[in-house]
Chains A and B, each alone.
Chain A
Amino acid sequence: MEAVTTYLAIGIFIVIGTVIAWLSKKFLQKDVKDFYTAGGRFGTVLSSLSYAATTYSAFMFIGLVGMAYQTGVGTLGFELVYFVGTLFLLYYIAPKYWALHNKFGYISPAEVLSERYGSQAVGASVTLLALVSLIPYSASQVIGVAFAAEGASSGTIPFSTAVLIAIAVALLWSVIAGIWSVGLTDVFQGLIMLGAGLMIVVWVYIWGTGYVPFDFASLGPLTFVPNSFWSFTTFLNLTLPWFFFALTNPQVVQRLFAPKSLQAQKGMIIWFGIYGLLFTVSVTFLGLMLKGFTDGGIFPLVAYRDSVTPTLLGMLPLWLSVLGLVAVIAASISTIDGIILTLSSMTVRDLFKAYRPSLSPKSQLIIGRLTIIILAIGCTLFALSRPGFIVDLAVLSSSLLLPQAPLVIGMFVWKRGGKYSATITIAAGFAVAAALYWTKLSPLGLPMNLWTLIIATLVYVGIALLESPTEGAKKFTDL
Chain B
Amino acid sequence: MIVVLLMYAVPYTSLSGIAGPYAFMFWTLIAAAYLVFVFIVIRK
Residues of chain A whose beta carbon lies under 8 Å from any beta carbon of chain B: 73-74, 76-77, 80-81, 83-85, 87-88, 91, 216-217, 219-221, 223-226, 232, 235-236, 239, 243, 266, 269-270, 273-274, 277, 280-281, 284-285, 288
**Assembled-state Cα–Cα distance A269/B15 (Å):** 31
* Complex contact A88–B42 (CB within 8 A): no
* Complex contact A273–B7 (CB within 8 A): no
* Complex contact A235–B8 (CB within 8 A): yes
Contact A84/B31 with A243-B4, A266-B42, A270-B39 known, Cβ cut-off 8 Å: yes
A238 to chain B, nearest CB (A): 12
Contact A224/B38 with A77-B27, A236-B8 known, Cβ cut-off 8 Å: no
A220 to chain B: which residues have CB within 8 Å? 19
B35 to chain A: which residues have CB within 8 Å? 87, 270, 273-274, 277
* Complex contact B22–A277 (CB within 8 A): no
B43 to chain A: which residues have CB within 8 Å? 266
Contact A80/B27 with A221-B19, A224-B18 known, Cβ cut-off 8 Å: yes
A220 to chain B, nearest CB (A): 5
Question: What is the predominant secondary structure among interface residues of chain B facing chain A?
Answer: helix
**Assembled-state Cα–Cα distance A410/B6 (Å):** 25
**Assembled-state Cα–Cα distance A221/B31 (Å):** 22
* Complex contact A269–B8 (CB within 8 A): no
B4 to chain A: which residues have CB within 8 Å? 81, 84-85, 88, 243
* Complex contact A223–B19 (CB within 8 A): yes
**Assembled-state Cα–Cα distance A189/B21 (Å):** 32
Q: Of A91, A239, A285, which is within 8 A of B42 by CB?
A: A91
* Interface-centre pick from A80, A217, A277, A281 (highest chain B CB count, 10 A): A80
B39 to chain A: which residues have CB within 8 Å? 270, 273
**Assembled-state Cα–Cα distance A74/B11 (Å):** 9
Which A residue sits closest to B4, measured CB to CB?
A84
Q: Report B17-40 CB contacts with A as 1/0, cut-off 8 Å.
A: 111111110011011101100110
**Assembled-state Cα–Cα distance A216/B22 (Å):** 9
* Complex contact B21–A232 (CB within 8 A): no
**Assembled-state Cα–Cα distance A216/B28 (Å):** 15
**Assembled-state Cα–Cα distance A467/B27 (Å):** 43
Contact A217/B20 with A88-B4, A270-B42 known, Cβ cut-off 8 Å: yes
* Complex contact B20–A216 (CB within 8 A): yes
**Assembled-state Cα–Cα distance A295/B21 (Å):** 17
Which B residue sits closest to A267, measured CB to CB?
B42
**Assembled-state Cα–Cα distance A218/B10 (Å):** 22
Which B residue sits closest to A225, measured CB to CB?
B11
21 sample A-B contacts, Cβ–Cβ < 8 Å, listed by A number: A73-B24, A76-B28, A77-B11, A77-B23, A81-B4, A84-B34, A91-B38, A91-B41, A91-B42, A216-B21, A217-B19, A217-B21, A223-B21, A223-B24, A224-B16, A224-B18, A225-B12, A225-B16, A232-B12, A266-B42, A270-B42
B7 to chain A, nearest CB (A): 6
* Interface-centre pick from B16, B30, B38, B39 (highest chain A CB count, 10 A): B38
B18 to chain A: which residues have CB within 8 Å? 224
**Assembled-state Cα–Cα distance A217/B41 (Å):** 37
**Assembled-state Cα–Cα distance A145/B13 (Å):** 38
Beyond A88-B1, A216-B20, A281-B28, 8 additional contacts (C-beta under 8 Å) are A77-B27, A80-B27, A83-B31, A88-B34, A223-B22, A224-B15, A235-B12, A277-B35
Contact A77/B17 with A84-B31, A224-B22, A266-B42 known, Cβ cut-off 8 Å: no
B12 to chain A, nearest CB (A): 5
* Complex contact B11–A84 (CB within 8 A): no
Which B residue sits closest to A285, measured CB to CB?
B24
**Assembled-state Cα–Cα distance A129/B43 (Å):** 37
**Assembled-state Cα–Cα distance A220/B17 (Å):** 9
B31 to chain A: which residues have CB within 8 Å? 80, 83-84, 277, 280
**Assembled-state Cα–Cα distance A266/B39 (Å):** 9
